[in-house]
Structure 1
Amino acid sequence: MLKNIFKKKEANTDLIAPLSGKVIPLGQVPDQVFSQKMMGDGVAIEPADKQVVSPVDGEVVDVFKTKHAVSLKTDGGAEILVHMGLETVELDGKGFDIQVENGQKLKKGDPLATFDINTIAAEGYKTVTPVILLNGEEFAMSNIAGEQDAIAGEDVLFHIEKK
């Protein structure tokens, strides 16, 4: 029993799709902050559905006040950003329903948020959702998904390994 208490947390993990939709390379995201990987490497999804789920087992680090993004930390320490739409900070929460709070523990596939892709698009914003590994200096990505359709909570977008 004591062995389990002191068990080292596994740093390597698969990151699953937080949304259903078409996976696109980060370099094709029409926003330089993401396409030039200023925040980190990752992929993006053009969502086909409004439900956003946790892509990893871990903890909610920060629900942005404007509800357009959630950052997570895996049990192994990798930091992940799910940024719903582009420039959507300007909507000040309109079209977003966050279903988690800071410090909450999550498993892959647990609900994070819903985001009304029709409202976001009607307001003139792009719904493409970057999924970013924020601490790439400590972790590496491999087996990165190409352009394909992904199902939220099921399909692996990339593997994360401790450097």
Structure 2
Amino acid sequence: MFKKLFGKKEEISRDETVYAPMQGKLVPLEEVPDPVFSQKMMGDGAAIIPAEGKVVAPVNGEVIQLFHTKHAIGLRSETGMELLIHIGLETVSMNGEGFEAHVKEGDKVSVGDLLISCDLGLINEKASSTITPIVITNGDILESVEKADAQETDLGKTKIFEVKAK
């Protein structure tokens, strides 16, 4: 009776899928040749060895940080999960050379929207690696994270994590 009077309470989904932000090969975070990522100092996640230089939104959400060097981007998903996508290793020293941002802080994004383009050849030449960690920086808000096994990825389509928020 009260449901009819006051309307049904809307359920907010606490489950979320994170899709591959890049074309390439998904590998465990532990295989990233940088202890900050491999030892999960910034959080848990996975990495992609990219086959092309396009980075797309892996979730629906908002751009919360875009580094001025455009080598990394932070997103907040609809469940509040925060993701850091760090393109390559030692790429901050490139000072933005070879990177082009297609979004800015505060932009709303949907899965598959182009975030950043980069020149993988230049990254190979000037940085230590093109491997791209995808890290959940606020994992404490999650009840569970199920990671996909190592596999080839199709950007914006291959599931890399299934998460459940608390």
Question: Fold match, TM over 0.5?
Answer: yes
In structure 1, the gaps of 5 or more residues are none
Q: How does 1:1-163 map to 2 (within 5 A)?
A: 7=10, 9-163=12-166
Q: Normalising by structure 1, what TM-score?
A: 0.93
Partner Cα distance (1:30, 1:114) in 2: 23
Task: Label 1:38 to 1:68 Cα distance change in 2 as closer, same or farther (>3 A).
Answer: same
Partner Cα distance (2:10, 2:101) in 1: 32
The answer on whether the counterparts of 2:144 and 2:165 sit within 8 Å (CA) in structure 1 is no
The offset of 1:115, in angstroms, is 1.1
SS in structure 2 at match of 1:119: helix
Report the residue type matching 1:159 in the other structure: E
Partner Cα distance (2:103, 2:55) in 1: 11
The answer on whether the counterparts of 1:11 and 1:75 sit within 8 Å (CA) in structure 2 is no
SS in structure 2 at match of 1:137: helix
Partner Cα distance (1:64, 1:143) in 2: 28
Structure 1 vs Structure 2: percent identity of aligned residues? 42
The answer on whether the counterparts of 1:68 and 1:88 sit within 8 Å (CA) in structure 2 is yes
The offset of 1:141, in angstroms, is 4.4
RMSD (Å), alpha carbons: 1.6
Partner Cα distance (2:18, 2:104) in 1: 20
Q: How many residues align?
A: 160
